[in-house]
Amino acid sequence: MKKPELLAPAGDFERMKWAFMYGADAVYLGGPAFGLRANAINFTMDELKEAVEYAHSINKKIYVTVNIILHNEEAEKVSEYLKKLEKIKVDAIIVSDPYILEVAKEKTNLEVHISTQASITNYKSAQFLKERGATRIILARELSEKEITTIIDKVDIEIETFIHGAMCASISGRCVLSNYLTNRDANRGGCSQICRWSFDLYSNEKISDELDFSLCTKDLIMVDYVKDLIEIGVSSLKIEGRMRSIYYLATVISIYRKVIDGYFENKNYEISKKDRDALYRVANREQVPQFFIESDMKNYQYYNNRKEVSNQDFLGVVLDYNNDLAFIEQRNYFEIGEEVEIMSPNNEIIELKISEIYDENMEEISVVRHPLQRVYIKTQNILKKNSIMRKKI
């Protein structure tokens, strides 16, 4: 049984490095054109080249999203763009428009993965795309375990599924609410996330006394079903979130890394309570296994009474360690006496209580409250560079 790839998002070069550092085998990211995250920083062509060279130097992979729904004016430009991606040796492109697949196979040697935006929900469509040169299908997110298994059994092609992160209220992102209400095209990178808005309910032309209504779905979490996904033959396990923070990425990636590796070391591996709690705390919405488990689907959406709570666990990044002093760059308020945890790239968790804090001039202070403030904390624990300091979970 082959170990599946752990695939993570990378909104910029920094987040790409953090994703690899904390256990991703590959990242997906957007280039300067034809992607679906207009508000992300994305990568210039020079940055893409550097990213590919960096990834390949550590035996990792880069997939570039080219999953926009093309309009006429763009169709004539895509060929040149794909040739540039081929030249810098990206490992694959992610596409949804069939014309881009056709161009990629006729004009380049690029490997092509079919985006979840293509809404592939059956094995006939998967087979159709395989015959036209696709090497991987990223399935629609609305499939049960039985449906995924059928596609894998019927079609000899790599299958990728989402395992964690935000969900669309529509069919894998094919939504027109944003276009209709804000004139921002969700299928061309401009989604304004109308499904997250709160709406008044009207009864007999009067606002109802009931709570605000929302189309918002709860987030996806598949940590308890990684074993099932491995055993049915899923090739790549994908984390959502090109706009997420380095703390979110490091936490989610490192935990799924442990779960995947743990399964191959011991098929009865179980996630720890601390890791489970960390996964639930790092998100700001409730998390459920969504369509994979069909028995409780009515509870996978909010409808009303939705609460989103910003997480303040991320306290700082370890920049260096020397002579019992850890050099920390602050991300949230902390003070002397606080009990914290240090999460390192090798999945080690160190617990400590902050007893001494010094500013950059080695003057003793009691509180760290300024954004990106750099301080020293006293500890005999040897802390690795790029470890994350968080509140004790």
pLDDT of residue 136: 98
User: In angstroms, rounded to a whole number, what is the distance separating the alpha carbons of residues 393 and 297?
Assistant: 30
The overall average pLDDT reported for the chain is: 91
pLDDT of residue 187: 65
Amino acid at 18: W
User: In angstroms, rounded to a whole number, what is the distance separating the alpha carbons of residues 52 and 50?
Assistant: 5
Instruction: Quickly state the pLDDT bin for 38 (edges 50, 70, 90).
Output: low
What count of other Cβ atoms lies within 10 Å of the Cβ of residue 299?
11
Query: Looking at the predicted structure, is the pLDDT value of residue 58 above 80?
Result: yes
**What is the architecture, at CATH level 2, of domain 5-304?**
Alpha-Beta Barrel (3.20)
User: In angstroms, rounded to a whole number, what is the distance separating the alpha carbons of residues 284 and 314?
Assistant: 13
Q: Rounded mean pLDDT of 233-242?
A: 95
Q: 228: closest CA among 154, 161, 295?
A: 161
Q: Domain 314-391, CATH 2.40.30.10 — does that match? A: yes
Whole-structure pTM value: 0.92
CATH 2.40.30.10 range(s) for the chain read 314-391
Query: Looking at the predicted structure, is the pLDDT value of residue 299 above 80?
Result: no
Bigger pLDDT: 108 vs 189: 108
Least confident of 23-32, 159-168, 193-202, 260-269: 193-202
Residue 153 is given by DSSP the state: H
Instruction: Quickly state the pLDDT bin for 185 (edges 50, 70, 90).
Output: confident
| Residue 241 Rama label (left phi>0; alpha psi -120 to 50; beta) | left
pLDDT tens column, 251-286:
999 999 999 999 999 998 999 999 999 999 998 888
Between strands 158-165 and 219-221, the pairing is antiparallel
How many residues can be counted in the chain?
A: 393
CATH 3.20.20.70 range(s) for the chain read 5-304
Q: Rounded mean pLDDT of 103-110?
A: 97
